[in-house]
Chain A
Amino acid sequence: MTSKRRTFLQLPQGTEAFYLEEAFRHRRIISRLDDLFERWGYLPVHTPVFDFFDIYRGLLGDAALENVYRLIDREGDLLMLRSDITLFLARQMGLALRKEDLPVRVYYSDVILRHQNREDISKNEFFQAGVELIGRAGKDADLEVMVLLLRTLSALGLPAVMHVGSRIIFDLFFADIEEERRKRLEAAIAIRDTKEMAQLLDGWNVELIDFAVRLFGYIGDADGLNRLRTQGTKLSAVPKGVLAELKRLSELSKTLAKTTARGSHRIDVSEIGTQPYYTGIVFQAYVPGQDSAVASGGRYDGLLGFFGLSAPSIGFSLLLRKVETYVDANGEDRIPQAEKATGSTFEEKLASADIIRKKGGISIL
Chain B
Amino acid sequence: MTTPRPSQRLTIALPKGRLLSQLLSHFEEKRVSLSFEDRKLIAEDKEGMFKAFLVKNNDLPTYVNHGIAGLGICGTDVLYESGHRFLHLLSFSFGRTKMCLAGKSAEEQISIPPRRLQVATKFTRFTQDYFHSRGIPVQVIKLEGSVELAPILGLAPYIVDLVETGDTLRANHLKVIETLTEIEVHLIANAAFYKLNYERINDIVERLRETQGSKE
Can you name the residue of chain B whose Cβ is closest to the Cβ of A284? Answer: B195
- Give complex CA distance A10, B215 in Å: 51
Contact with B along A257-269 (1 / 0, CB 8 A): 0001111100010
Cβ of A219 within 8 Å of any chain B Cβ, yes or no, is yes
Shortest Cβ gap from A25 to chain B (Å): 19
Instruction: Give 12 pairs: A residue, B residue, CB < 8 Å, sorted on A.
Output: A119-B62, A119-B65, A119-B82, A120-B65, A153-B1, A157-B2, A161-B4, A264-B3, A284-B195, A286-B196, A291-B65, A291-B67
Of the listed stretches B86-94, B163-171, B174-182, name the one at the interface; the rest are far from the partner chain.
B86-94
Shortest Cβ gap from A284 to chain B (Å): 8
Cross-interface CB contact of A268 among B84, B85, B195, cutoff 8 Å: B195
A191 touches B2 (CB 8 A): no
Q: Knowing A122-B66, A195-B91 touch, does A158 contact B2 (C-beta < 8 A)?
A: yes
A190 touches B65 (CB 8 A): no
B1 touches A264 (CB 8 A): yes
Cross-interface CB contact of B1 among A154, A287, A289, A290, cutoff 8 Å: A154
- Give complex CA distance A260, B3 in Å: 11
- Give complex CA distance A196, B91 in Å: 12
Can you name the residue of chain B whose Cβ is closest to the Cβ of A158? Answer: B2
- Give complex CA distance A290, B190 in Å: 10
- Give complex CA distance A160, B194 in Å: 14
Apart from A192-B89, A193-B87, A264-B3, list 5 A-B contacts with CB within 8 A.
A154-B2, A159-B3, A195-B91, A287-B4, A288-B196
Can you name the residue of chain B whose Cβ is closest to the Cβ of A155? Answer: B1
How many residues belonging to A are interface residues under a CB distance threshold of 8 Å?
Answer: 35
Cross-chain pair count, CB within 8 angstroms: 76
A292 touches B192 (CB 8 A): yes
User: Chain A residues near B1 (CB, 8 Å)?
Assistant: 150, 153-154, 260-261, 264
Cross-interface CB contact of B4 among A150, A190, A288, cutoff 8 Å: A288
Shortest Cβ gap from A198 to chain B (Å): 13
Shortest Cβ gap from B90 to chain A (Å): 10
Cβ of B40 within 8 Å of any chain A Cβ, yes or no, is no
Cβ of B191 within 8 Å of any chain A Cβ, yes or no, is yes
Within 8 A of A (CB), among B40-65: 62, 65
User: Chain A residues near B62 (CB, 8 Å)?
Assistant: 119
Q: Knowing A120-B65, A291-B65 touch, does A159 contact B4 (C-beta < 8 A)?
A: yes
A219 touches B198 (CB 8 A): yes
Shortest Cβ gap from A141 to chain B (Å): 21
A290 touches B5 (CB 8 A): no
Cross-interface CB contact of A286 among B2, B84, B87, B195, cutoff 8 Å: B195
Residue in B84, B88, B195, B196 whose Cβ sees the most chain A Cβ within 10 Å? B195
Q: Knowing A117-B83, A161-B196, A191-B88 touch, does A292 contact B191 (C-beta < 8 A)?
A: yes
User: Chain B residues near A167 (CB, 8 Å)?
Assistant: none
User: Chain A residues near B85 (CB, 8 Å)?
Assistant: 190-191
Can you name the residue of chain A whose Cβ is closest to the Cβ of B5? Answer: A159
Cross-interface CB contact of B190 among A192, A193, A287, A291, cutoff 8 Å: A291
Shortest Cβ gap from A108 to chain B (Å): 23
Shortest Cβ gap from A186 to chain B (Å): 12
- Give complex CA distance A264, B193 in Å: 16
User: Chain B residues near A159 (CB, 8 Å)?
Assistant: 2-5
Contact with A along B1-30 (1 / 0, CB 8 A): 111110100000000000000000000000
Can you name the residue of chain A whose Cβ is closest to the Cβ of B85? Answer: A191
- Give complex CA distance A150, B1 in Å: 8
Cross-interface CB contact of A192 among B65, B82, B88, cutoff 8 Å: B88
Shortest Cβ gap from B176 to chain A (Å): 25
Residue in B5, B65, B91 whose Cβ sees the most chain A Cβ within 10 Å? B65
Contact with B along A149-184 (1 / 0, CB 8 A): 010011001111101000000000000000000000
Within 8 A of A (CB), among B69-92: 82-89, 91
- Give complex CA distance A206, B109 in Å: 40
Cβ of A293 within 8 Å of any chain B Cβ, yes or no, is yes
A288 touches B190 (CB 8 A): no
Shortest Cβ gap from B71 to chain A (Å): 13
Can you name the residue of chain A whose Cβ is closest to the Cβ of B198? Answer: A219
User: Chain A residues near B88 (CB, 8 Å)?
Assistant: 191-193, 195-196
User: Chain B residues near A268 (CB, 8 Å)?
Assistant: 195
Residue in A150, A163, A286 whose Cβ sees the most chain B Cβ within 10 Å? A286
